[in-house]
Amino acid sequence: MAKPDKVAAVAEIADHFRSSSATVITQYNGLSVSQLSELRRALGTSAKYRVAKNTLVQRAAEEAGIEGLQDLFVGPTAIAFVQGEPVDAAKALKNFAKDNAALVIKGGYMDGRPLSVDEVNQIADLDSREVLLAKAAGAFKAKLSQAAALFQAPASQVARLAQALADKQQGDEAPAES
């Protein structure tokens, strides 16, 4: 019979799997408690970083309906359950791993499929949602400015033509009077 604390841990981890927009599985072998605290601060509110036993995590993943991660649950495993934007959490983990060789990104899970280490790194290299929205807004504004200039061009051409015609008529009338 399963111990109540382990059953509760499996249920909690399964809930994290279900409620997360993405997960990143890491190996933390050799990180001190202070380094793990620093990593949790770097992740901020975008992710919860949880150290757990592999057997409990495997059971929780099965309970949550997540498949394809069994090979990643080897050795000391910790999981970042991403609550917000996956880009922010992936960047924080990648930057922390650069400074601390003991943290190894093993893979992840997002949009119903497992992610390789390369895919997690590609996500980390993306711009944040806010930056992408700002770039899109800038592109839209540029296109609107081009459209406004295009729509204004015929009116200004007509005005220039009318002015040229008026100038020509004045020029034609002036020599006739002399």
Both 57 and 137 in one domain: the answer is: no
Both 72 and 102 in one domain: the answer is: yes
Q: Any bridge partners for residue 25, and if so which?
A: 79, 107
The two three-digit tokens of residue 25, written as one number = 């599985």
59-96 pLDDT tens trace: 998 888 888 888 888 888 899 999 878 888 888 898 88
Host domain of residue 8: 4-126
- Return the pLDDT at 24: 92
Distance CA(117)–CA(133), nearest Å, equals 26
> Treating both helix axes as pointing N-terminal to C-terminal, what angle do 86-99 and 117-125 enclose, rounded to 10 degrees?
110
Both 119 and 134 in one domain: the answer is: no
Distance CA(12)–CA(68), nearest Å, equals 20
Both 73 and 160 in one domain: the answer is: no
Boundary-marking domain end, from 107, 126, 145: 126
DSSP state of 145: H
Distance CA(116)–CA(72), nearest Å, equals 10
CATH number reported for the structural domain that contains residue 40 in this entry: 3.30.70.1730
Residue 124 confidence (pLDDT) above 70: yes
Both 41 and 84 in one domain: the answer is: yes
Both 144 and 114 in one domain: the answer is: no
Both 151 and 93 in one domain: the answer is: no
Both 110 and 75 in one domain: the answer is: yes
Both 64 and 120 in one domain: the answer is: yes
Are 26 and 93 in contact by the 8 Å Cβ rule? The answer is yes
Residue 78: in which H helix or E strand, if any?
A: strand 77-82
Boundary-marking domain end, from 89, 108, 126: 126
127-172 pLDDT tens trace: 777 777 888 888 888 888 888 877 877 777 878 888 888 888 887 7
DSSP state of 68: S
Both 121 and 136 in one domain: the answer is: no
Both 118 and 132 in one domain: the answer is: no
Higher per-residue confidence, 132 vs 112: 112
Q: How far apart are the first and last CA of the chain?
A: 118
Q: Look at the chain and report how many structural domains it folds into.
A: 2
Q: Which positions ≥6 away from 39 have C-beta within 8 Å? A: 31, 49, 92, 93, 96, 100, 103
Boundary-marking domain end, from 84, 103, 126: 126
Residue 178 confidence (pLDDT) above 60: no
Both 122 and 143 in one domain: the answer is: no
Cα 70–Cα 73–Cα 3 angle in degrees, nearest 5: 95
Residue 174 confidence (pLDDT) above 70: no
How does the average pLDDT of the chain come out, rounded? 85
- Return the pLDDT at 175: 59
52: three-class secondary structure by DSSP: coil
Percent of the chain surpassing pLDDT 70:
96
